[in-house]
Amino acid sequence: MEKNKTWAGPDRKLTEDIPMEEPVDSREIGDISDSGRETACREDMSGTEAGKKAGRKQPEKEEKQGGWKQEVWEWFKIIISAAAIAFFLNTFIIANSEVPSGSMENTIMTGDRVIGSRLSYKFGDPERGDIVIFRFPDNEEIYYVKRVIGLPGDTIDIADGHVYLNGSAEPMEEPYIREPMIPEEPMHFEVPEDSYFMMGDNRNYSSDARRWKNTYVKRDKLVAKVLFRYFPKPSRIK
């Protein structure tokens, strides 16, 4: 009786302890296979996108190179346009001049830079008292800046440190001169038609029509009417 109990227990225990191999669901095999194919597809797609990106690198590089060339061309056009505008203005509209001497002090100081209008005498005539940029009659390659004192047809007498116009007994009123003129020997001038008589405001230190070999400035040698000083201190000039 004891032997039967002894063998009965282990038989049951053996049966219980040995794990049974669980059956594999066929659906899981299919899932694994599909997953494998999906991964492969993703890899193929990834490879395709990488190929596309690689294919786009060359156009992007060419586009980048074309970008800086386009920028250089745009700057070149701006510079050329600015130069053309400056040339046009300086040739036909304004005259830019630096005054190197003190002959016009204190109206214009040595080293001042002034702007003149080239159009002023295209549409009108010079007036007495205008400050003018003109070609120096003794050397037309040089530009001078002086004040108009005598107009076409005027007679001018300089005596006792004063200027007399057209036989007047009263001297000209000249509030702009730096100091009274030092008296000299009397001078007499008759301004020809289409010409002008010029003097500096700093009379005692001015080389002007009183000293020139070719005394008068012809109308067609007038370059511009001075309007204002732009350096060193911007201001209107009268």
- CATH, residue 225: 2.10.109.10
Please report the pLDDT score of residue 60 as a whole number: 57
pLDDT by 10-residue block (mean), the chain, 238 residues: 38 37 40 43 46 51 69 86 77 87 96 96 95 97 97 97 97 96 96 98 96 97 96 93
Please report the pLDDT score of residue 75 as a whole number: 87
Q: Residue 69 falls within a domain, yes or no?
A: no
169/38 Cα distance (integer angstroms):
117
Q: Residue 232 falls within a domain, yes or no?
A: yes
146 among known catalytic residues: yes
Q: What share of the chain is helix, strand, coil (3-state, %, to 5)?
A: 40, 25, 40
Residue 81 Cα distances to 31, 115, 238, angstroms: 72, 22, 34
Domain span including residue 117: 99-236
103 among known catalytic residues: yes
Write down the pTM of the prediction: 0.68
From the candidates 97, 120, 146, 206, which is the catalytic residue? 146
Total domain count, the chain: 1
Q: Residue 161 falls within a domain, yes or no?
A: yes
Q: Residue 3 falls within a domain, yes or no?
A: no
Q: Residue 231 falls within a domain, yes or no?
A: yes
Residue 221 Cα distances to 98, 116, 130, angstroms: 18, 14, 15
Please report the pLDDT score of residue 238 as a whole number: 85
